[in-house]
Amino acid sequence: MNMYDNFDHKRGYTRRGEKRGCLTWTILLTILLLVPIVSFGAKFIYETAFRERLLVISHSPHNVHKIEVFEKGAETFFRPSTVRIKHSDSHIDCHIRHDGSSLQPSNVSVTWKNEKEATITLTGDGQTFKTIEFKVTNHEEDSSSFQEVQRTSSF
């Protein structure tokens, strides 16, 4: 074995180490760059599409039933705001045009007719009023239904 064979062996070993090191750094830098981008994107999507902000909680006259009204997502790019109305396990989603601003509790009105029926009115700037009827549908007190019954022009 001469001196050149030993040199070639060391050179090959060094090249393999350099390739491994470059690959390791490339993977680490890719991860370090992608983690903030993905987490920012996920937070943005959650805030604009899924986050629920409570607007109104209304109880029936004898506090047997409760209706909760949430703004779902955030106002972006002048799209209609999504409103989720909940009772127990049932809910209904409606859209309110509010000129890109955030909804307020004054945009929602809940009027109880009796212990099992209520009328929810949704209003927005420059749109029609939406009226949703709520009714407990069976004797178990758990099943309920929502139904959009009326749209009245506000102009």
Burial group, residue 121, by CB count within 10 angstroms (0-12, 13-18, 19+): middle
Among the listed residues 135, 131, 136, the one whose alpha carbon sits nearest the alpha carbon of residue 149: 131
pLDDT at 4 over 80: no
pLDDT at residue 155, rounded to an integer? 42
Give pairs for 24-31: CB < 8 Å, separation 24+.
none
pLDDT of residue 154: 47
pLDDT of res. 63: 92
Percent of the chain with pLDDT over 90: 37
pLDDT of residue 86: 93
Handedness of CA 124, 129, 132, 133 (dihedral sign): positive
The answer on pLDDT for 10 being more than 80 is no
What does 47-96 look like in DSSP terms, one character per residue?
Answer: IIII-EEEEEEEE-TTSS-EEEEEEES---TTPPEEEEEEETTEEEEEEE
Contact 121, 108 (CB under 8 A): yes
Tokens of 97: 């045009």
CB 58 within 8 A of CB 117: no
pLDDT: which is higher, 112 or 16: 112
Query: Structural domain boundaries of the chain?
Result: 1-50, 51-152
Task: Report whether 97 contacts 126 (CB < 8 A).
Answer: yes
If one compares 57 and 90, the residue with the highest pLDDT of the two is 57
Q: What is the pLDDT of residues 33-88, one digit of tens each?
A: 999 999 999 998 888 888 899 999 999 999 989 999 999 887 766 778 889 999 98
Cβ atoms of 96 and 127 closer than 8 Å? yes
